[in-house]
Amino acid sequence: MSGLLDLTLTEAVRATRSGSVSTSELVSAYLSRIGRFNGPYHILLEVLEESATQRAHELDALSASERDRLPLYGVPVAVKDNLVMDRGSTTAGSRILEGYRAPYNATVVERLERAGAIVLGKTNLDEFAMGSSTEHSAYGPTLNPWDPTRVPGGSSGGSAAAVAGRLSLAALGSDTGGSIRQPAAYCGVVGLLPTYGRVSRYGLIAFASSLDQVGPITRTVDDAAVLLRVMAGFDPRDQTSLREPPPDVSDEASVRGLRLGILSSYPEGVDPVVRATLDHMTRALADAGARLVSVDLPDPTRALAAYYVIAPAEASSNLSRYDGVRYGKRKEAEGLYALYDETRAAGFGPEVKNRIMLGTFALSAGYYDAYYGRATAVRKAIADGYDRIFERVDAIVCPTTPDRPFPLGERLSDPWRMYLSDLYTVSLNLAGLPGLSVPVGLQEGLPTAVQVVGPRLSEPLLFRIGRAIERAAAPMPAPDLKEGGAA
């Protein structure tokens, strides 16, 4: 593998600013790797080779002082294909948006490019971000770079696989119930769910608006911190955007004196390897000076049940616009209602249809209070439960997922088992809290990870703990991609 592809984001910025590596060389190295491995692993839905190459040449022409003002100077990134861009297409992994070309850029894309980043392409995802394995993409599944017979997680599986497989230096994902953190854990990279409202959602194709959030996927915690500082900040175009300045970025890694919550018990079905990995890491944090405090998370199974009422309900509302008249590819038919039926039947995949129907039922007359009303009450109880926990501890260290990457196709016929992959992630979205997934090495050839959870706007603290975890963990090597993929 080219040495250029081993550089972290912060190392790459130093190299390109100094002129020891040109942005054109760096982008060319990534595009070459994409050309070799994207086909078999199906990570990017579209490669923006021409615009990326042109942008690299433009950046190479900047003066030293101009380069120094760009915190992401020359950094090649990939963007999840539910974030709109003014070049290429934006499909959200769905046939109903096949060929759609947006006239503008999402705020997060604007901010990254303004900071000097170069977008290499759009990554694969579960259709409309509804899934935990990237098997629900209308354009075919993404394979896990560590084992092409296994899933990369979802819905941001393409973004996580791109960073792990060295097809991009960093990537953007979206997280509605774990869709950044779970694939980051499955692919052995860092994934951050920011505090709700910390990062603008303007230009993100909506799944569940009160839960969706955009965040970075990177190789290191420091890289995630740099990206978040660029991405974060108030955006008047997003009514849920917080009037908070971007968080400070430091290199602090000490956990001495911190009170870290650890789980007093685990539900059945947690992979013993996941539990052993977490126990080892919490002991390492204790050895580094942290004080461990036993806590009980707000009931994860109740959180999962509430999530799978609230998220589909919001999805049924958000996706009603895709009718072939206002939005989406049209399927011609006789009569307006027939046009709706034909368009949606052809344009939406099975998982999206399932969630739309579930959400519509939960919002229907006679059932609203029984389902959606009760789910929102559970949501508030979960948020209150976290508030009580953070009166006792500074942060929580827990699993990102209860399992490790599972084989392709294994859970497609068992939705509940698929949904259980998000057991430790959905409650954060319900409460609007930040969470950071950090890889801690390989076990039996597959990545393992832990999750750090904090109060609202505690991202600097999460990065601090994440750095300590990185230093205590086994280093993550690069996966050995096969040009034949699963074959």
The CA-CA-CA angle for residues 80, 81, 87, to 5°, reads 110
Whether the CB-CB separation of 179 and 204 falls below 8 Å is answered with: no
Q: Which of 94, 132, 155, 174 is catalytic?
A: 155
Q: Which of 80, 174, 200, 427 is catalytic?
A: 80
Would residue 80 show up in a list of annotated catalytic residues for this protein? yes
Q: Cis link prior to 364 (omega < 30° from 0)?
A: no
Q: What is the DSSP string of 221-281?
A: HHHHHHHHHHHBS--TT-TT----PPPP-------TT-EEEEES---TT--HHHHHHHHHH
Amino acid at the residue 469: I
Would residue 179 show up in a list of annotated catalytic residues for this protein? yes
Residue 446 parent element (H or E): strand 446-453
| Distances, alpha carbon 189 to alpha carbons 151, 173, 209, 403, in Å | 15, 13, 26, 16
Specify which residues 294 forms β-bridges with: 262
Q: What is the DSSP-derived secondary structure letter of residue 373?
A: I
Q: Report the candidate in 105, 138, 104, 91 with the shortest Cα–Cα distance to residue 328.
A: 91
CA terminus-to-terminus distance, the chain:
21
Q: Which of 168, 179, 316, 421 is catalytic?
A: 179
Residues with Cβ < 8 Å from 266, sequence gap 6 or more?
275
Residue 482: how many other CB atoms lie within 10 Å = 14
Q: What is the DSSP-derived secondary structure letter of residue 87?
A: S
Catalytic residue ranges: 80, 155, 179
